[in-house]
Chains A and B, each alone.
Chain A
Amino acid sequence: MLLYAVVPADATAPEARGLAGQRLEMIRGMLAAVIVEECAERLSATGEDARSFAEIICDLATTTSMLPIRFPTMLPTRSAVLAELQANEAAWRRRLTELDGLSEVVIRVQWAEPDHESGPASNSSGTTYLLSRAAVIHRRESSVAEISELVRAWAREIKVLHSQQGVRIACLVANTDVPQLRDAVTSWQQARSDRQVAVSGPWPVFSFVVDQEVVST
Chain B
Amino acid sequence: MSVSDDSTSPLDQFAENTLNSLTGRVDADPESVERGLVQLVLTLVELLRQLMERQAVRRLDAGAMSPEETERVGLTLMLLEKRMAELRDYFGLTPEDLNLDLGPLGKLL
Taking beta carbons and an 8 Å cutoff, which residues of A are in contact with B?
45-48, 50-51, 53-55, 58, 70-72, 104, 106, 108, 112, 119-121, 123, 125-131, 133-134, 137-138, 161-162, 164, 168, 182, 185-186, 189, 192-201, 203, 206-207, 210, 214-215
Contact = CB atoms under 8 A, between A and B. Distances in A.
Contacts of A197: 1-4
Given A130-B56, A162-B107, A47 B5 contact: no
Contacts of A71: 14, 18
Interface residues of B, number: 49
B57 A134 contact: yes
B77 A51 contact: no
Interface of B is mostly: helix
Nearest to A207: B10
Contacts, number: 139
Given A47-B19, A51-B15, A127-B67, A200 B5 contact: yes
Nearest to B95: A164
Given A125-B71, A162-B107, A193-B1, A47 B16 contact: yes
Contacts of B32: none
A127 B82 contact: no
A127 B74 CA distance: 5
